Structure 1
């Protein structure tokens, strides 16, 4: 369930204290000094939960935020925060002995709840922050210490893939079922561990980690290309320089065929589109074509098999979405269209 906290309904004089309390509830305790400007201070936090992963979207006016040694004892549980800068260019002043760095949109910073740090926002900012329990991130303490407070540039290496994914995940978190949300949380923590290894210059990953990383990259490739009708096991394998046979093996180890996974993701996106309400409600045919289905009767048949009703019935229903039934087995060959 999405929780939204905003200062808009709070008197101007009470907004700083109100927002500081909201930050404590969604992150942990901070000292917060809000900078005066021509307009009253304004801020909001939107929070979603995916398994153990809490995703916060923060909008804030200019402020100086710090977590001092005195505050660390008030939050005995250890957490890791991964912050993605969306808007604004704050200064990350310190954690782990790092020097001051300017954070640009798309950049990522990893922080821990058990170490002091400080940031300064001289302009309005928008930040996506992922808060996860320290044990969930399978990275040695020595490695994590080497990364805390470091600005990971969003246009380099794995961060080029991870940065837009985290941004999209924050926007769509509320649309996922509990099962999907927990799986996404596991995938995110795997990716973050891989990002840590890349940033620290680890030249070699064990075979299991390398295989898992490849599978995650393939899944991201599929997600980016779901709308293309020609997406197939052959095109996926070719794009990653592997054989189709090895691609099938990767997905067999996960208990699902490649084609079935493509179909499931397309249906999830179609279901999300059909849930949209407003003056520009999409048609069933436009939704199907928009997510790679070329034949409407086929789309209607597989949608009913997955969710127990036709796409039109789903779009017309009232109330919240119901959990989908397991998808039927799909053949290994051909496209999921």
Structure 2
């Protein structure tokens, strides 16, 4: 895996292959060319698979879905992945993964850890989805020197670092800003620190990973959650804390360490959403009160005051200016 210094994305799907050559081409392109595995479908279900790859410095993310099939890495094929540790999290369906004669998956939300150089078999027993991290072995070894202790057993779904890792991997894989080299390097560091914690880093190594990556990744996950529900006027630290399994006090502390506050972040994002809606023609049918409500403001008077303080003009001024632009575009 090359250290490109930025994020690169690619998607591969059997939908792009001719029906009569779907399995053959997937075996060659994905099985031999990418994953270094032999593929054997299970049952009579038409074979299909869809995987999106996101590559950052020293770590890659593969997320997708598959029909039932065995994915076998022989001793020969396993040597091609000698420099990586693979952590694969089951998102849905039933699956099995074996290495060293041991089962590595314990249900949805758990993760298997595939050791380099050794044969393994990963099987989707039903239609299912997954997210897999391919971590550079030398980098993981520096962060979690005892990483080999994670081999031969599943990481349970109750593992807090694993849950946060899955959340953060989703955010990184879907965030366009990660294409910026500086952001990509930072995201990579956070992913690798969380991976080290999930693999069992302890002592000073765990403390460093928590301080450097765990805290930053948790705040990123919380901010992402807030943005998804920014239009909910009942959004609160309590509601966010419950969803993330932490205390409201810790939520507030994370924002304070970031030089902000929960309420300031929420207000700024609500105002930003309202501004986007005011100048977007597709929301031209909504009046200002409706836009305030859609942006999470329960009090229109407060919205008007906050908007004017933040942008220096009233919401109605922005709407009128936008209407002029819309008319010019139409004419």
Q: Fold conserved (TM > 0.5)?
A: yes
- Do the aligned partners of 2:85 and 2:116 also contact (CA within 8 Å) in 1? yes
Residue 88 of structure 1 is matched in structure 2 by 93
Whether 2:17 is the aligned partner of 1:16: answer: no
Q: Structure 1 residues 119 and 8 mapped into 2: Cα distance closer, same or farther (>3 Å)? A: same
Residue 329 of structure 2 is matched in structure 1 by none
- Do the aligned partners of 1:72 and 1:115 also contact (CA within 8 Å) in 2? yes
2-side partners of 1:110 and 1:281: how far apart?
51
2-side partners of 1:287 and 1:166: how far apart?
32
Q: Structure 1 residues 264 and 55 mapped into 2: Cα distance closer, same or farther (>3 Å)? A: farther
Query: What is the total number of aligned residue pairs between the two structures?
Result: 290
2-side partners of 1:24 and 1:185: how far apart?
25
Query: How far off is 1:113 after superposition?
Result: 4.0
Query: Structure 1: where are the runs of 5+ without partners?
Result: 305-309, 318-337
Question: Of the candidates 191, 195, 199, which is equivalent to residue 194 of structure 2?
Answer: 191
Query: Structure 2: where are the runs of 5+ without partners?
Result: 1-7, 313-317, 327-331
- Do the aligned partners of 2:164 and 2:217 also contact (CA within 8 Å) in 1? no
Cα deviation 1:134-156 (Å, max 9, x = unaligned): 23335567522111343222234
Which protein is bigger by CA-based radius of gyration?
2
Residue 326 of structure 1 is matched in structure 2 by none
Alignment RMSD:
4.7
Whether 2:60 is the aligned partner of 1:54: answer: yes
Q: Structure 1 residues 13 and 134 mapped into 2: Cα distance closer, same or farther (>3 Å)? A: same
- Do the aligned partners of 2:143 and 2:205 also contact (CA within 8 Å) in 1? no
- Do the aligned partners of 2:161 and 2:195 also contact (CA within 8 Å) in 1? no
Cα deviation 1:3-62 (Å, max 9, x = unaligned): 22221242344222311233257743112222241x431122222334443222232222
Q: Structure 1 residues 241 and 64 mapped into 2: Cα distance closer, same or farther (>3 Å)? A: closer
Cα deviation 1:202-246 (Å, max 9, x = unaligned): 4676754453344544444444345377768xx9997245996x9
Q: TM-score, normalised by structure 1?
A: 0.64
Q: Structure 1 residues 83 and 102 mapped into 2: Cα distance closer, same or farther (>3 Å)? A: closer
User: Which moved further from structure 2: 63-72 or 152-161?
Assistant: 152-161
Query: How far off is 1:79 after superposition?
Result: 1.7
- Do the aligned partners of 2:172 and 2:178 also contact (CA within 8 Å) in 1? no
1-side partners of 2:91 and 2:152: how far apart?
17
Q: TM-score, normalised by structure 2?
A: 0.65
Query: How far off is 1:110 after superposition?
Result: 2.5
Residue 321 of structure 1 is matched in structure 2 by none
Cα deviation 1:120-165 (Å, max 9, x = unaligned): 2222221111223223335567522111343222234333433344
Residue 239 of structure 1 is matched in structure 2 by 248
Cα deviation 1:166-218 (Å, max 9, x = unaligned): 34544x24564424333222212121222223xx6x46767544533445444
